[in-house]
């Protein structure tokens, strides 16, 4: 069960090798989290994360093979996880790919695969999770979106469009779950320095997985519907969203 500070006891992560998820779990393990389910593509990488979690005091770590593109398997996978670990207090949606914009523009099939992972899979996992949270009458769902969801940029609009889709989906899902005891938080970090962004030039207001994790834990405490990291991005993006196209493009080119 979640406590008065939104600290969960049992956490399920989709995208179990995500660095942001790892930082979130480290903070939650220091509080109340004793059971973690890691769902992801690479079993050996999950095992490494599992070992670290055990060292942090998590008593039960379960690793589950999860293929984002295999959407037809998601519902049974989610049902199975919820059946084996009753009372899932927090589900973290942390899978996603950035892709190389130049490659994606040349390869429509690759772009479609990215859209499947980042958006379509988020929809199928999200709906399956929502049904189980509704049944158990409580629980939080945290979805890692991106500031890129706010306004498409020339330099990464394929990725941005997938995040815009999943962002809109989870906000709507949060509204749909009102009164069910379940709650949805959409997290919109700016540029986060991780493996996923290694080698890319950092954007303004770049942040770290640790800062994102702090903001997520704080969001659970306050019951926030959206969490911006760093917080100032809420206002920066509010301005950018309304800039005239020519001005926005010039900013984006730099």
Q: Which of 222, 232, 253 is nearest to 189 (CA)?
A: 232
Identity of the residue, 84 or 249, whose beta carbon is nearer to another protein in the bound complex: 84
51 binds another protein (CB under 8 A): no
For 25, the enclosing helix (H) or strand (E) is helix 19-29
For another protein, the closer CB: 191 or 228: 228
CA separation for the pair 102, 110 (Å, rounded): 11
Q: Is 119 a catalytic residue?
A: no
The footprint of another protein on residues 219-248 (CB under 8 A) is 221-223
Distances in whole angstroms, Cα of residue 145 to Cα of each of 2, 65, 92, 119: 23, 22, 11, 10
- Give how many residues touch another protein by CB under 8 A: 25
State the minimum distance, in angstroms, from the CB of residue 219 to another protein.
Answer: 10
Smallest distance, another protein to C-beta of residue 120, A? 29
Residue 205 in contact with residue 184, Cβ under 8 Å? no
CB of 87 to another protein, least distance (A): 6
CB atoms within 10 A of CB 154: 11
Tokens of 45: 């990488």
Choose the stretch contacting another protein; rule: CB under 8 A; options: 13-21, 116-124, 157-165, 175-183: 175-183
Residues 242/143, Cβ–Cβ less than 8 Å = no
135 binds another protein (CB under 8 A): yes
Q: Which of 14, 66, 82, 159 is catalytic?
A: 159
Residues annotated as part of the active site: 159
Chain positions contacting another protein, by CB under 8 A: 1-7, 9, 31-32, 35, 86-87, 134-138, 179-181, 218, 221-223
């Amino acid at each position: 069960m979640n406590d008065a500070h939104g600290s969960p006891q049992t956490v399920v992560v989709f995208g179990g090798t995500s660095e942001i998820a790892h930082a979130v779990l480290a903070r939650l393990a220091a509080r109340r989290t004793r059971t973690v389910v890691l769902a992801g593509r690479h079993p050996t990488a999950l095992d490494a994360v599992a070992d670290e979690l055990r060292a942090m005091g998590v008593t039960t770590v379960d690793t589950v093979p999860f293929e984002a593109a295999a959407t037809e398997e998601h519902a049974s996978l989610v049902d199975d996880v919820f059946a084996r670990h009753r009372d899932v207090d927090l589900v973290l949606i942390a899978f996603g790919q950035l892709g190389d914009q130049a490659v994606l523009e040349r390869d429509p099939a690759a772009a479609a695969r990215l859209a499947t992972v980042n958006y379509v899979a988020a929809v199928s996992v999200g709906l399956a999770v929502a049904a189980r949270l509704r049944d158990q009458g409580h629980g939080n769902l945290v979805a890692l979106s991106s500031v890129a969801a706010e306004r498409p940029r020339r330099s990464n609009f394929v990725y941005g469009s997938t995040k815009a889709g999943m962002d809109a989906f989870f906000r709507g899902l949060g509204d749909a779950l009102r009164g069910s005891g379940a709650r949805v938080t959409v997290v919109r970090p700016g540029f986060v320095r991780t493996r996923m962004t290694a080698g890319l030039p950092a954007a303004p207001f770049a942040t770290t997985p640790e800062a994102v994790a702090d903001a997520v834990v704080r969001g659970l405490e306050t019951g926030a519907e959206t969490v911006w990291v760093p917080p100032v991005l809420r206002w920066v993006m509010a301005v950018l969203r309304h800039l005239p196209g020519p001005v926005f493009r010039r900013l984006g080119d730099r």
